[in-house]
Structure 1
Amino acid sequence: MEWIRDHAWEAWLALAFVLAAAEIASMDFVLLMLAAGALAGVVAALAGAGGVLQCVIAAVAAVAALGLVRPALLRRLHSSPETPLGKDRYVGMRAVVTSRIAAHERGAVRLDGETWTATAAAGVVLEPGQPVDVIEIRGATAVVRPTVEGPEEMGE
């Protein structure tokens, strides 16, 4: 017990390293916040605080880190925009009509380097070479509408 009292900052530092290393296994940022509290214990020990005060400072720092730092860290790490996968990634892309599409007549478009069966939204007639926007994917059929904006990258 006397060794810990004489070497308190080393004990706190060892605890911080153990907690930080254990965090690698959990990846939940709880143990990392506890390690931050242990580092506050290192500072308190180096400043000459008594053992009880070191424990209080370490506990307050750990609770503060858990309550303030961890939620902000998790929000930042989990706030990436969702990337559409599968067929949903084609919605909003530009394509080019390769065979005529009419009201009740399927045609084809060149979308992302591939030929897709396509139908027109709202019963419009689309001619080959016309740029279109994909508004929906139904099974293996792209639902398209005429492009109204300026030229962009086409799905070729």
Structure 2
Amino acid sequence: MDDFIASYGWIIWLVLILLFLTIEIMTLELTFLMIAVGSIGGLVAGLFGAPWWLQLIVAAILAVLLLTVIRPPLLRRLRSGGDPARSNVDALLGLDGTVVASIGGEFGIGQVKLANGETWTARLSPITEQRTVAAGERVLVTSIDGATAVIVPVERVQP
């Protein structure tokens, strides 16, 4: 058995490296890439004539070292390049608008035209004084509840 591993160990390492790289292509988490690089270390050790058990130790130590030292900063670096622009509901939070149909009254629901040009069904936030907000008043979106903008009136500054 030792003769077989000594003669064909490099083939086993190549198969493992290809297997780990294939799995890495599907997962994209850099885990199997680090294990594949560790396997390359085992392959190199085997090419220099190291016994099979030493090849395994070299591969394991190198893989664990890469997983604990190199992978975390690489993942942070890869994920830091995300799009900083807010989108969807996040883009609406804090947006100001103008009341189109008064908010309050019997059902407490009205409509606002937001600064981005969209018209939304709106209701007053529970944290604000419940009153009728007339058409033309300025409001600020505090949250989105389904398809309804939850708003607070913007205080007018008296000159």
After TM superposition, the score normalised by the length of structure 1 is: 0.60
Instruction: Give the 5 Å matches for 1:1-156.
Output: 2=3, 4-6=5-7, 8-24=9-25, 29-46=30-47, 48-51=48-51, 52-72=53-73, 90-101=92-103, 106-111=109-114, 113-119=118-124, 121-123=128-130, 126-138=133-145, 140-147=147-154
Q: Distance in 2 between matches of 1:146 and 1:117?
A: 11
- Relative to structure 1, is the Cα distance of residues 147 and 45 closer, same or farther in structure 2, using a 3 angstrom cutoff? farther
Unpaired segments ≥5 residues, structure 2: none
Higher mean displacement: 71-80 or 32-41: 71-80
Percent of aligned positions that are identical: 33
Q: Distance in 2 between matches of 1:88 and 1:77?
A: 23
Shift of 1:97: 1.4
Name 1:152's counterpart in structure 2: none
Higher mean displacement: 19-28 or 90-99: 19-28
SS of aligned partner of 1:122:
coil
Q: Deviations over 1:17-70 (max 9, x none)?
A: 122223445666543332121011233344x24124322211111222333344
Q: Distance in 1 between matches of 2:147 and 2:27?
A: 42
Count of residue pairs brought into register by the alignment = 145
- Relative to structure 1, is the Cα distance of residues 115 and 139 closer, same or farther in structure 2, using a 3 angstrom cutoff? closer
Q: Distance in 2 between matches of 1:43 and 1:133?
A: 64
**What is the one-letter code of the residue matched to 1:63?**
V
SS of aligned partner of 1:142:
strand
Q: Distance in 1 between matches of 2:23 and 2:150?
A: 51
SS of aligned partner of 1:68:
helix
Q: Distance in 2 between matches of 1:109 and 1:19?
A: 55
RMSD: 4.1
Shift of 1:76: 6.2
Q: Deviations over 1:71-101 (max 9, x none)?
A: 55566677879x886x676433332211344
Q: Distance in 1 between matches of 2:13 and 2:146?
A: 60
